[in-house]
Amino acid sequence: MELLVTAIIVGLVVYGLERNRARQATAPHFHLAGSSDVVDRDSERVSKELLLLDRAVRLP
């Protein structure tokens, strides 16, 4: 009995996940909600640090 209930729950979860994935892939707006013009401050900071490091290495 426990095995049957577990199998039904697992089946419903798999069905729900697959249904959600299929629905999102065919939607006209399949990107995340919200604005997409947000500046990634981490990549900006890392590039500036690498640029400063490169300048420091080049100066003998």
Q: What is the pLDDT of residues 11-32, one digit of tens each?
A: 999 999 888 776 655 555 555 5
Question: What pLDDT does residue 22 have?
Answer: 63
The pLDDT of residue 30 is 54
What is the Cα–Cα distance from 12 to 6, expressed in whole angstroms?
10
Which DSSP symbol is given to 33? S
Tens of pLDDT along 34-59? 666 677 888 889 988 888 887 777 76
Report yes or no: 30 and 24 within 8 Å, Cβ to Cβ: yes
d(CA 28, CA 52): 43
The more confident residue out of 33 and 2 is 2
